[in-house]
Amino acid sequence: MESQKAEVAYEVLPYLRVYQDGHVERLSETEKVPPGFDPKTYVTSKNLLILPDRHVSARLYLPKITNINKKLPVLVYYHGGAFCLSSPSSPMYHNYLNSLVSKANVIAVSVNFRLPPEHRLPIAYEDSWAALQWVASHSKGQGSESWLAEYADFNKLFLAGDSSGANIAHNMAMLAGDPKTGLSVKILGIALVHPYFWGSKRIGSDTDDPRINPVGDGAPSLLCLGCTRVLVCVAGKDILKDRGWLYYDTLNKCGWNGVVEFLETEGEKHSFHLKKPTGQKANVLNERLISTGTSLPVAYEDSLAALKWVAYHSASIDPQTGVQSKDVSIQKETGLSARLYIPKIISNDQKLPLLIYFHGGGFFAESAFSPAYHSYLNSVVAEANVVVVSVEYRLAPEHPLPIAYHDSWEAIQWVASHSKGEGHEPWLKDYADFDRLFLAGDSAGANIVHNMALRAGEEELTNGVKILGSILVHPYFWGNEQIGSEGSDPVKNDMINKIWLIACPSSTGLDDPHINPVAKEAPSLSKLGCTRVLVFVAGKDMLRHRGVIYGETLQKSGWGGVVEIIETEGEDHVFHLLNPTCDKAKSFMNNLVSFMNHDNK
């Protein structure tokens, strides 16, 4: 037997060695720990043979139960290890799942699928799909596992994995979205941590197996992805980083009807969070992963800090549009900053309209530097041929309102200080036409636009600069008295209430003039400090009626300007950011461009 074992068929060092007789010697990640009660996290775990005919097992995790009547989200986890190594019983994964389950307060099922080379792919995919179906079989209180039948909330089912496990999670979501296979329950979200995607060619089109190259020419469209939320995490020093970015970018642009987020951890390598689990960067990644299932847009819960998760895209020259961007500091004391954009073709003799943009996110989420806004404003600058200043104001709850309003006003005044060729920013001095100054924003950013325009009607801007127009995209206005369809979804209604009350604890309530500009206590809209206003609303947006009423009230207020209301039927809140390539988003962009380029000089 020893002589047979000595004949090596092949080896992949330092991971495994395969002998001619078929025997496999794994050289790493072979240590195992038993399940049980963890005194540090109060999480209990147990092993189950869930699919006896396949010899597939799982390790289940249950957090400390404090309320037997409260159902918990379900996380199905697929471990990494290049498909060939590790298991849920390894100390690294066991400790990681204990911590994750405790912090996220979820039930976790860590799947022990069969490994190559003894069990070659697609066996691991088949085992993982069968395990997911086994989990789903408990959705109606049935099934053999009491933890799932009693405590699991199958309206909050998530998949996650790292490396090859992230690859599996993606492929499971694709199967779940295929009507031929399907799943008896819906997957709410997936988290792909340092996903193992690859291809036979360098980044670009190719025809590889779609399971390893989900964006290749032969792969099914990501439109089929069977979930509504995706988080993609990459590490700056990971050779797989660009594949993860390409997956995110492709999903973001393909028209898939969901929300995809991106997180890059700079300066770290593949699976660093497992090898250095107590580091600050690992904590950031894990918090991001946790909030995939607890943040307001998904579950409408109270964990506002979860919405802080945001990817950051570097300023650059955009290869598609030729738009240049750079980041500037406006006020060092407070950290107030902005991202500036100029179009490709610039003539020193031609001054361009100037747009100051305020991002959305409920006053406590998103960023001027996020991929979604960076990509969107690249398009705006290229299409409209304008200079853009995208403001990075401080966020609640660490910096509660009115701080965001103060920052926004400071940013506008800083921009205006360049109107006579002064100031330190050459892009503003050389290219901006301050007679064509516009403010724009979406959601909470549109709320900021209104409040800034109102203040500009009461206070003079630096150098006497005037705001020509304001653009409010799906504005976040609200009030105590429900109107329109606001009562149709009590959970979402409650979420919108909470966003304001937590973002602005000093508020007088939901009829505070900052959130309800048509309330009795609000200043007259006739004081608005601009001459043109464009209000966009979306037909399926719960905020639609507030936007319409704002526009109609402004028309009747005695204000001496022109207001236009444009509704996009059949679409929801900020659809143009979520699905920027659809026909309605293109129509939206055309209206935006037309408004800024209208001859009003």
Give the Å distances, CA to CA, from 479 to 470, 491, 512: 22, 16, 8
Non-local (6+) Cβ contacts of 204 within 8 A are none
> From the candidates 139, 443, 470, 507, which is the catalytic residue?
443
Number of Cβ within a 10 Å radius of residue 1: 7
Please write down the long-range contacts of 245-248, taking CB distance under 8 Å and 24 or more positions apart: 246/197, 246/203, 246/215, 247/170, 247/192, 247/195, 247/197, 247/214, 247/215, 248/371
**Cα separation, 276 vs 381, whole angstroms:** 42
24-26/16-19 β-pairing = antiparallel
In the residue annotation, 163 being an active-site residue is answered as yes
Task: Look up residue 133 and give its amino acid.
Answer: Q
**Cα separation, 367 vs 390, whole angstroms:** 9
In the residue annotation, 443 being an active-site residue is answered as yes
**Cα separation, 140 vs 142, whole angstroms:** 5
Non-local (6+) Cβ contacts of 171 within 8 A are 125, 128, 211
Give the Å distances, CA to CA, from 451 to 457, 461, 546: 10, 14, 15
The DSSP secondary-structure symbol of 220 reads P
**Cα separation, 298 vs 328, whole angstroms:** 33
> From the candidates 163, 367, 390, 419, which is the catalytic residue?
163
| Alpha-helical regions (H) of 74-145 | 91-104, 123-136
The DSSP secondary-structure symbol of 239 reads T
Residues constituting the chain: 601
Which residue in this structure is represented by tokens 């300007």?
A: 561
**Cα separation, 546 vs 483, whole angstroms:** 8
**DSSP character string of 402-446:** THHHHHHHHHHHHHHTTTTS-SS-HHHHHHEEEEEEEEEEETHHH
Non-local (6+) Cβ contacts of 504 within 8 A are 363, 396, 400, 401, 402, 512, 514, 515
**Cα separation, 439 vs 450, whole angstroms:** 9
- The 3-class SS string of 535-591 reads EEEECCCCCHHHHHHHHHHHHHCCCCCEEEEEEECCCCCCHHHHCCCCHHHHHHHHH
**Cα separation, 171 vs 259, whole angstroms:** 18
Task: Look up residue 196 and give its amino acid.
Answer: Y
**Cα separation, 179 vs 62, whole angstroms:** 32
Hey, which residues are catalytic here? 163, 443
